Structures are given as structure tokens and as C-alpha cells.
Structure 1
Amino acid sequence: MSDAAILCRFEAARSIVRDAADLAMAMRPPPGGPSGKQKSAQDWLTEADGAVEALISERIGALFPEDGFQGEEEGRTRTGRLRWVVDPIDGTSNYARGRSRWCVSLGLMDGDQPVAGIIQAPALHETYTAVRGHGAFLNGRPIKASPVTDTRSAMVEMGWSNKVPDGIYAAKMAAILELGAMPRSGGSGALALADVACGRLDGYLEMVINLWDVAAALVLLEETGARFSPFLRDGGLDRGITLLATAPGIATDLAVALAVPLD
């Protein structure tokens, strides 16, 4: 697909994501105990998930009816060479408690290749954007991956999932600590990957993560010089698999310690 066609869609999508983020903010539960339906351990579904996804799907469909669409909640509802992939509320466990670390994530794929992404975290007043070959930005300012080269000064996040046995999680976290890195866990895979892209984090590991969580973030990582494991090549288009994203200066050390190959 031509660069012009992708840029046209990207500009339209920015407005759509803003409206979707406004809707999510309006529906956000107040601070307190979790609100919504619990699908499994620590896995929540709120009314906003469906409403935000429906808004994006309808607006994208009206503007670009020839494009495919895939959402976390409804799956693939339309097919096309260009495909939009949305996580309406990434970080739902945070959102359901009225916390601020969550986002609306929308990626555009040309075939199997991510070409544009928008991650908007309205409660944090932050928007990440990227188009392949055109750089990546946070609130309009260029970003790049961290320059850190020593794991003893690195900050590394690991996502938690009920799909990962406790022993594996503990072993990977122990490997991070053995490197001298400072561990973190924030509850939003898309925002963690965006943090690697802008240098707030030096690494992020998620043992089981899905395409809708990463479609927008992969473009950010690529445009900012971060390195990451071959998620798309190794099956991430169809199922949840492992993803490691890292600052280039500690990529080898982190990949070896965590036993996750990079590209």
C-alpha cells in the first residue's frame, strides 16, 4: 500500500482514537474496588471495552470500508489487505479500579506488517504515535530508545498473566534481578512497550501477549531503535506468545538471561 494511503488513514485514526479515549474517560469507574466482569484471575471486562471498540470499528468502517478490522473483544469482523487492530482498553485491571495507567491502542497492518500505531493514555495526558519510516513521537515530540548499556542501571518490566505458571514467572523475575536490573510491573503491555520505545524502560518481557496488545507498539519500537523478539514471525499473528522488547545497549544480555531470542 502506498505511503500516502497509510498517512491518510493515520491522520483520520488520530481523531478517532481521541474520541474513543474521551468515551473511555467518561465511562471510567471511580477509584475503588474493581468494577466490571471478571473473566478469569485478574482478567477484567468492563462496559467501556465493548463501547470503545464499537466506536472505533464503526468510524473506521465508515471511512475505509475496504479495510479489515480486528478487535480484542469481537475478533476479526472485516477482512482486507490493510487491517486495523485495536485493544479498546489495554490495562483493564487498572481501568476497572479507576487507576490511570491504561490506554486505547490502535495499530494498522499492511498484510502481516505493522505500519502505523497510536497509543493514547488519556488519564496520563499522553499520546504515542508512529508511522513506519516517519519516526515515533510522544505528544508530538520525537522519541528514541534508552541509551543504557549496563543492566545494573536498567529498569525492566515484566507483565503478569494467569496463563503463565508461577514458577516460570518467578524464574524470569529472578533472572532480571540477577542482572542487577530494577524490576517493575505496571499492568499495561501496550504502555510498557511504549515506555521501552521512549526510554522510560530499558526492557519489557511478557510471556503471553496478543496481537491487539502490540500491533501499535511494534511500530514505535522499530522507529525508535529498540530491539524485540520476532513476535510476528513466531506465531503472534494468530495466538498469544512471548515478546521481549529492549534497549539496544542491553539487548544481548537481557535476551540471554531471559532465554528469549531477538531478531
Structure 2
Amino acid sequence: MPETLRNASVATTSAADAELLARTAVAVREASSVLRERFGDVVEYRTRDELMRALAANDDAVLDILRPRLEALRPDAQWVGEEQELDGGALPSGEWWVVDPVEGNVNHLHGLSEWAVTATLVRDNQPVLTAVHLPLTGETYTALAGGGAYLDGRPLRVSGTADLGLSIAATSQARPDEDEKVVRRVGASITEMLIDALVVRIAVPATLHLLNVAAGRIDVFWQFSGGRADLLPGALLVSEAGGRISDTQGRPWTLASESFLAAAPGVHADAVATLSR
């Protein structure tokens, strides 16, 4: 293909994806309204089955609105559901919607404010666009591959800090009932980061920490666990805001990686050194 035609094709694709992102953000905001209406008192449960039913009820309420809207936007795209593990880490070729209808669902049930709705389009295993909406604040974070990261239309940029000792770092529990070796690895990494960083924040969900990295509010986020599709929205936001994404050893991160690190460029190497001890 001649270079001029190739460039025109890329520009057309980018424009089409930008429009798709705008429509995705609208769909996510519309679906989020039902979740806001369901928020309030702590939801009581006495067994794991009751907990799972309460989580599923939240998911279903959002998906009843969100899924048909996303499927209308991209009828041929396949679907990766909330918290789905990926066989071998990779998706088959083509387009996939990666959706978490209630990122931080357990927080929602407990009357805590840290939860969101996310939708990310992945094309041939590369995240193309993402929209993350926080219903309680009304904020919408968006990112387009090669097109930057934004909060309600305002550009995001990671922090310029170059001293891990002056940094706020954060981590998150990937899932309940994690393998004991992973749990002990998480605990050891928190100890090391407490020694080297200024402050360490520990909470779920991961995406909200990554929004803060993209916005320059915190400097480092790390997590141990493989095949986490729910890291894709934050990974795209951070990378488009100028941050660095890798595993905790500094190697390129993929959905097959066993760890994840997002950091401001000035502290990435030091964070790798801390987490590699």
C-alpha cells in the first residue's frame, strides 16, 4: 500500500475508534445509573452463596443495560465477562469487549465508595479504547491507543516524581482465596515497599489505583496474579498518560504475566528493584 494511502487508512481508523470510544463512554454512563440507584446500606449476607448471589445481582443489573449497547456498537466483537480468567493469558484474534460491570463489587455491597463500571475494546490482543465511569462522582476516564488519556475531556499525565522515597505506592488483592504462595509474595512485597516508598496504600479494586497513577495522584501500583483481564483499562490509561507498564521484574507485561507494575517513568526502575528483592 502506498504510504499516503496507508496514513489515510490509519487516520480513518483512529477517527472511527475515537467515535466508538465516545459512544462506549455514553453506554457505560447509562449502565452505571442503575448501580448508583442500588447503592446505599450494607448488604447483609451470612454465607458465601448469599455473597455470590448479591454480587451477581449487581453484575446482572448493569449488564442488562450495558451489554446490548456494546453489542450494538460492535456486533462482531466477542465478549470477556467480569473477572474471567484467560486460558494461557491471550485472547483469540479479533475484537473482544472486556467488561467489568462492577469493578469493586464487594465495596459496593459494603456501602464503600470505591467502585466503577469499565468497558475496554481489545483488538488482536491489544487494548484499543477504554471507558471507566465512577457513578458516585460522575467522573469518566477514557483512553484511546495512541490518542491519550482523559478525565472528562481533560488530558491526564502521570507524575513527574523521580524519588521512590517521596512516592505514594499502592497495591491490591487480585482475588479472594489466592494461592498461599502468592499471598506470601504480596505480603513480602508490601514490607519492601513500606521500607522504600513514602506511603503505601492497600485496597481493592485495582482499577481505581490505576486511575490515580494515570492522573499523577499516586506514583506506583503493583499486583501479583496472572491473567488479569481487569487490569487492561488501567494499563491503557496509564500508558496513554505517559506511564510505564511492565511486570514487577521490568519485563513487558502481557495477560500471561504473573505480576503487574504501573509507574511514573522516574520511579519505575526503583520500583522494579524494590519488588525484585
Q: TM-score range by the shorter chain?
A: 0.7 to 0.9
Compared CA separation, residues 133 and 37, structure 1 to 2 (3 A)? farther
Indicate the residue corresponding to 1:60 in structure 2: 70
Judging by fraction of residues, say which structure has more helix.
2
Counterpart amino acid of residue 101 in structure 2: P
Which of 38, 50, 62 is 1:27 aligned to?
38
Contact 2:83 2:230 in 1 (8 A): no
Superposition TM-score, scaled by structure 1 size: 0.85
Extract structure 1 runs of 4+ deviating beyond 4 A. 33-37, 39-42, 73-76, 230-235
Q: Cα RMSD (Å) of the superposition?
A: 3.0
| Identity within the alignment, % | 27
1:244 aligns with 2:234: no
1:126 aligns with 2:161: no
In structure 2, what is the Cα distance between the partners aligned to 1:257 and 1:39? 39
Indicate the residue corresponding to 1:198 in structure 2: 215
In structure 2, what is the Cα distance between the partners aligned to 1:241 and 1:22? 35
Structure 1's unaligned 5+ residue stretches are: none
1:84 aligns with 2:97: yes
Deviation per CA, 1:138-196, whole angstroms, max 9, x where unpaired?
Answer: 12211101111111111111112431534222200111012033110231111111111
Secondary structure in 1 matching 2:143: strand
Compared CA separation, residues 249 and 73, structure 1 to 2 (3 A)? closer
Counterpart amino acid of residue 70 in structure 1: V
1:254 aligns with 2:271: yes
In structure 1, what is the Cα distance between the partners aligned to 2:47 and 2:116? 19
Judging by fraction of residues, say which structure has more strand.
1
Q: Which has the larger radius of gyration?
A: 2
Compared CA separation, residues 96 and 110, structure 1 to 2 (3 A)? same
In structure 2, what is the Cα distance between the partners aligned to 1:147 and 1:185? 22
Counterpart amino acid of residue 29 in structure 2: R
In structure 2, what is the Cα distance between the partners aligned to 1:249 and 1:14? 31
In structure 2, what is the Cα distance between the partners aligned to 1:73 and 1:245? 20
- Residues 1-263 of structure 1: pairs in structure 2 closer than 5 A: 2-28=13-39, 30-32=40-42, 38=48, 45-72=55-82, 81-160=94-173, 161=175, 162-165=177-180, 166-208=183-225, 210-229=227-246, 236=255, 241-259=258-276
Counterpart amino acid of residue 187 in structure 1: V
Counterpart amino acid of residue 97 in structure 2: W
In structure 2, what is the Cα distance between the partners aligned to 1:187 and 1:215? 16
Contact 2:223 2:259 in 1 (8 A): yes
Secondary structure in 1 matching 2:221: strand
